[in-house]
Amino acid sequence: MSRKVTHHLPPAMLAQYAAGRLSYAFSVLAAAHVSLCRDCRDQLAAHEAAAGLLLEEAAPAAVSEDLLPRLLARLEEPAAPQDRQVEDGARPSGIYPGPVMMALKGRPPRWWHLGSGIRQALLHHGPGGSLRLLSVPAGRPVPRHTHRGTEFTLVLQGGFHDETGHFSVGDVEVADARLEHTPTADPGEACICLAATDAPLRFSGIVPRLLQPLFRI
Amino acid sequence: MDGAQSADERGTALDSQTRLLLAVRDRRDRAAFAALFAFYAPRLKAMLLRGGAGDALAEDVVQDTMLTVWRKAAQFDPARATASAWIYRIARNRQIDIFRRETRPLPDDAGREEQEKDAFASVALAEQVHRLRAALRQLPAEQRAVLESAYLDGLSHGDIARAKGLPLGTVKSRIRLAMGRLRRLLENSAKP
């Protein structure tokens, strides 16, 4: 299953994921990449090993005397559905890794047409950023655009290339305000990507900027 | 190698917390669970207090974390993580669930390779963690404190910057420097 991934997450992002410091949108993207990339899975394990060692050596803080008896009394209590989700995560399905299935709440994506055959499914939108799936028909270019903030794009199906290189399944492209690009989907099959941003995307060609807040792209 | 030898070898290579967790996993050993609680609960609470939680909230997260340790022990694999790393991950999941009312997405296991299930992988992991522990101990106190902050403090770098009265960029670059130093120490310890 693990393919050879050539474009990875920035190393600091794995440390931030381990420490629980990423926004929801970025943590879905990071966990999805880790699901597809053996190197980053190993790196995340190394961060957690280091964190675990520092936890072992942390100066202890006294806990209430009744905490252990209260806990022991709860051991056979069945886990609530929310607990099970927190504890188990979600299984992958088709091209979607477990973290994406979780963001999809186990349902197929609800695609919206953006024009030129390009489709988008919004998975999350909040003050910390947005998360969406993008589908671009085989061989089709996405109108030239720039970015506000930082955007990570993880390929889930097919591939694309732009001015900076070629990206296939498992690869992540990091874009910021300095990158103005025209990604073009590979021939063969539609390119489906997961995109996480900490700010709205700025399209120049496809939807007038005035309408962007309405379309939330 | 026969089974008895491999069990013996694992028994001596693994740290004591990991052995306790295996007793919980394999025998549902409540005494081992109470020993894990005695070790981790005060340390997890210290981590959560560092992250800005009040006393009661910190204990709620500790309780949820340890309950999850009991429930999910069957999934613990010493070839993939030490007890401390595994419990740290669970505590972060629980903390995010309670503090942010968000479910942290977890990587799935679909891409794991068969070879990782090798019986001696847990010994290999224990040896690497041993080297990591040695490298952390060689780190200058100031840089070690930076890493403690990076892994044990609150859920944002902004929180850390505010607590330390430093600009966010300074916090991030100090973490990068400390990570670089740790990496070099590990590389040197790998040389014969």
Q: How many domains does chain A have?
A: 1
- What pLDDT is stored for residue B191 in this prediction? 61
Q: What is the CATH number of the domain that holds A171?
A: 2.60.120.10
Report the distance separating Cα A105 and Cα A119, nearest Å: 19
Could you give the strand order of the β-sheet that contains A191-197, starting from the edge strand earlier in sequence?
Answer: A112-115, A118-126, A129-136, A191-197, A151-157, A172-175
- What pLDDT is stored for residue A205 in this prediction? 47
Identify the closest residue of chain B to A88 by CA–CA distance: B106
Nearest to B103 among A45, A74, A102 (CB): A102
Determine, for residues A18 and B45 on separate chains, whether the beta-carbon distance falls below 8 Å: no
- What pLDDT is stored for residue A212 in this prediction? 56
Q: What is the pTM of this model?
A: 0.89
CATH topology of domain B14-103: Rna Polymerase Sigma Factor; Chain: A (1.10.1740)
> For residue range A130-175, what is the model confidence (pLDDT) as tens digits?
999 999 999 999 888 878 789 999 999 999 999 999 999 999 999 9
- HSE of A82 in the Cβ direction (CA atoms, 13 Å)? 8
Chain B nearest CA to A181, separation (Å) = 27
Determine, for residues A67 and B62 on separate chains, whether the beta-carbon distance falls below 8 Å: yes
Rounded to the nearest 5°, which phi and psi values hold at A192?
A: -115, 125
**Structural domain containing residue A38:** 1-217
The stretches in chain B having pLDDT less than 70 are: 1-12, 111-119, 190-192
Structural domain boundaries in chain B: 14-103, 123-192
- Give mean pLDDT, residues A70-88: 87
CATH number 1.20.140.10 is the correct assignment for the domain at B123-192 = no
Q: A with B: how many residue pairs have Cβ under 8 Å apart?
A: 202
Chain B nearest CA to A19, separation (Å) = 5
Nearest to B43 among A20, A56, A99 (CB): A56
B132-139 contacts at long range (C-beta below 8 A, 24 or more positions apart)? B132/A46, B132/A49, B132/A50, B132/A53, B132/B186, B133/A53, B134/B189, B135/B182, B135/B185, B135/B186, B135/B189, B136/A50, B136/A53, B136/A54, B136/B182, B138/B185, B139/B178, B139/B181, B139/B182, B139/B185
Determine, for residues A58 and B152 on separate chains, whether the beta-carbon distance falls below 8 Å: yes
ipTM of predicted complex = 0.90
Nearest to B84 among A21, A56, A103 (CB): A56
Chain B nearest CA to A202, separation (Å) = 26
Nearest by Cα to B9 from B83, B120, B129: B120
Chain B residues whose CB is inside 8 A of the A67 CB are 41, 59, 62-63
Nearest to B92 among A19, A24, A34 (CB): A19
